[in-house]
Amino acid sequence: MTTVQPRSAFDDPITFEVAKNALRSVADEMAITVLRTAHSQNIRESMDFSTGLCDAAGRLIAQGVGIPVQLGAIPDAVHFLLAKYARDIYPGDVFILNDPDEGGMHLPDLFVVRPIFQGHLHVGFAACVAHHADIGGRTPGGNAVDSTDIFQEGLQIPILKLYEQGRENRTLVEILGRNVRIPETVLGDLQAQLAATRIGEVGVLRLLDRYGTDGFANLVEELLDYTERRVRTELARITPGIYSFEDHIDTDGFGSGPIRIKVSLSVSAGQLTADFNGTSTQVKSALNATMSFTKSAVYTALRCIMQDDIPGNAGLFRPITVKAPIGTIVNPTRGAPRAARGLTGFRVVETVFGALHHALPGRVPAAGEGAATMISFAGHYANGRPFVYVEFSAGGWGGRPDRDGVDGTSCIEGNISNVPIEEVELTLPLRVEQYGFVPDTGGSGKWRGCLSIVREFRLLSGEALLHMRSDRRRFLPYGLSGGHKGTPSWNILNPDTIEEEVLPTHVSRLLHAGDVIRHVSAGGGGFGDPFERDPKNILEDVLEQKLSAEYVRRNYGVELNPDGTSIDSRRTAELRGSAQAPVSPND
């Protein structure tokens, strides 16, 4: 006798699509809540946070609009939570953590995780991770590259209950408030995270009311299986083999460098393993990245070669394995400083892109500005009240296989935004003296890399401690398929004066009233032979003052007519015949 399996409601593709998007919308509502209620510029304006939903087993089932390199961090945090509190989770509980050895990434990133209950049945978690403006420690902002152990970096919070069955843990809140320099801002942002997780709880409960407990469970299983199938199909398009690449971080800030990031991608039968054997050992400074962050960076890079409608959930992780030796910069041991680990994660993404170029030469971009430079100012207002300002300066992308790199936007892996000038000058004793594109920067190619961005701040009063985390001065953003390398980043104190000083890529410096700090981001690498670039695109860049006539003559073998508004085709062939475009050593 044949047993007929009951047909799921989600076998209907329309019902499945509606339910899938409804779940994603809940995670997006959480993100909007953070945007509308956060206090600090870094969360409210730069959008340095992520939201997500997990099922009761801790599997990621939906991720809101947020930072791609946090994709794998939320499920790791919930995994550690379940291991610690498996029999001690009740309605009204809310958990908090930032300890990198219990699922965190670096100390300024506070995770807030709210269990979701339908009656007494535990059905899932709503989670929000946000980069706070301060977490205590030896330096304001908690982002200093020159910290040498995690105990210098701020308050470590293991997985604890912020709320226990609806009652706030006032002891924990007071400890947090007392250990940060700007408690109103930090605790205000924490309230924004709490509000977001409450929105996530309400949204999931509405879906449970609509589909029922069993129906919702079926939706989760089918959604994860659907995602896994889609990802395996994408990976099956890659010719089986091992694809390797290495890239570098210039220095750790203590004179140790270059720091090598090496990856080998092994692909076969719809599966992929990323192995970081050969990567440099963990460093003295705070560039060390947690394994959860490294995995997130790998997922981010691979996600970029897939169809854009594939959901971001645990099904994506199933066909992908990430390995890294313990004690390396991408998987450090307990106690390692990690405040500036973002730079390492960004370099992991670009290293994986480099390996993927060998496997799929028409699918990945050249290296972008590659640092998402962190700039932090901390001091006191005239009335003695402290301020801490953290900004991640967005630069742009490398040239792509079919178009230019995007100018003036966040690196792909960051998905953050520059803080508006008006916001900076309204709330801080800073004036933005300059903000814009730097002409004749970026790597030339059939598709050029992004231009560098210059952002210049003047301290108007008092003193302020400056911290900067930048890179790509020695090891420039790589070009692909014959595209030129990008151009270097620069940090300059009091530029265009007799006191001008070129600062290193990693900076800790006391500023005085009137001091000016100029940051120039790296320009992205180019893609393809520069001599194959359409003259119309070259002319457009010149007319928009992105490139000069001399630059295009030297790099593209193109001469402008005397009126400067057209290409002199008579000279073009001659110039191209005499010029030689260097080939990227990364090909």
Instruction: List, for residues 353-412, the tens digit of each pLDDT value.
Output: 999 999 998 899 999 987 778 899 999 998 989 999 988 888 889 999 999 999 988 777
Q: What is the mean pLDDT of residues 415-426?
A: 86
Supply the pLDDT for residue 268.
Answer: 94
Could you tell me whether strands 463-469 and 373-380 are parallel, antiparallel, or unpaired per DSSP bridges?
antiparallel
Sign of the C-alpha dihedral computed for residues 190, 191, 196 and 198 taken in this order? positive
Residue 189: strand, helix, or coil: helix
Position 539 pLDDT exceeds 70: yes
Side chain identity at residue 105, one-letter code: M
Instruction: Please say whether the beta carbons of 352 and 246 come within 8 A.
Output: no
Supply the pLDDT for residue 559.
Answer: 83
Q: What is the mean pLDDT of the chain?
A: 90
Supply the pLDDT for residue 582.
Answer: 45
Could you tell me whether strands 241-249 and 121-131 are parallel, antiparallel, or unpaired per DSSP bridges?
unpaired
State what percent of residues in the chain have pLDDT above 90: 73
Least confident of 240-254, 307-321, 384-398: 384-398
Smallest CA-to-CA distance from 448 within 352, 348, 544 is with: 544
Q: Which residues have C-beta within 8 Å of that of residue 267, sequence separation ≥ 6?
A: 235, 238, 239, 240, 241, 242, 243, 359
Indicate the burial class of 492 (C-beta count within 10 angstroms; 0-12, 13-18, 19 or more).
middle
Supply the pLDDT for residue 564.
Answer: 67
Sign of the C-alpha dihedral computed for residues 307, 308, 311 and 312 taken in this order? positive
Q: What angle do CA 186, 189, 191 make, to 5 degrees?
A: 115
At residue 572 the predicted structure's pLDDT band, cuts being 50, 70 and 90, is low
Helices and strands: H and E segment counts in the chain: 12, 20
The Cα 115–Cα 56 span in angstroms is 8
Position 584 pLDDT exceeds 70: no
Structure tokens at 356: 């993927």
Q: What angle do CA 27, 129, 472 make, to 5 degrees?
A: 110
Smallest CA-to-CA distance from 276 within 288, 268, 264 is with: 264
Tell me the pLDDT tens digit for each residue of 465-485: 999 999 999 999 999 999 999
At residue 587 the predicted structure's pLDDT band, cuts being 50, 70 and 90, is very low
Terminal alpha carbon distance of the chain:
61
Tell me the sheet residues that pair with 493: 501, 517
Q: What is the mean pLDDT of residues 254-275?
A: 93
Supply the pLDDT for residue 316.
Answer: 94
At residue 3 the predicted structure's pLDDT band, cuts being 50, 70 and 90, is very low
Side chain identity at residue 308, one-letter code: D
The count of C-alpha atoms lying within 13 angstroms of the C-alpha of 479, restricted to the half-sphere facing its C-beta, is: 29
Supply the pLDDT for residue 580.
Answer: 46
Q: What share of the chain is helix, strand, coil (3-state, %, to 5)?
A: 30, 25, 45
The Cα 177–Cα 503 span in angstroms is 34
Beta strands in 12-159 (DSSP E): 49-55, 60-63, 94-97, 109-118, 121-131
Smallest CA-to-CA distance from 390 within 151, 149, 186 is with: 186
Structure tokens at 37: 């209620």
Tell me the pLDDT tens digit for each residue of 76-100: 999 999 999 999 999 999 999 999 9
Supply the pLDDT for residue 391.
Answer: 86
Supply the pLDDT for residue 378.
Answer: 93
Sheet holding 430-438, edge to edge: 430-438, 452-459, 516-520, 490-493, 501-503
Position 156 pLDDT exceeds 80: yes
At residue 234 the predicted structure's pLDDT band, cuts being 50, 70 and 90, is very high
Q: What is the mean pLDDT of residues 316-340?
A: 94
Query: What is the Cα 386 distance to its own chain's centre?
Result: 28
Position 569 pLDDT exceeds 70: no
Sheet holding 373-380, edge to edge: 386-393, 373-380, 463-469, 506-512
Supply the pLDDT for residue 124.
Answer: 97
Supply the pLDDT for residue 585.
Answer: 37
Residue 277: strand, helix, or coil: coil
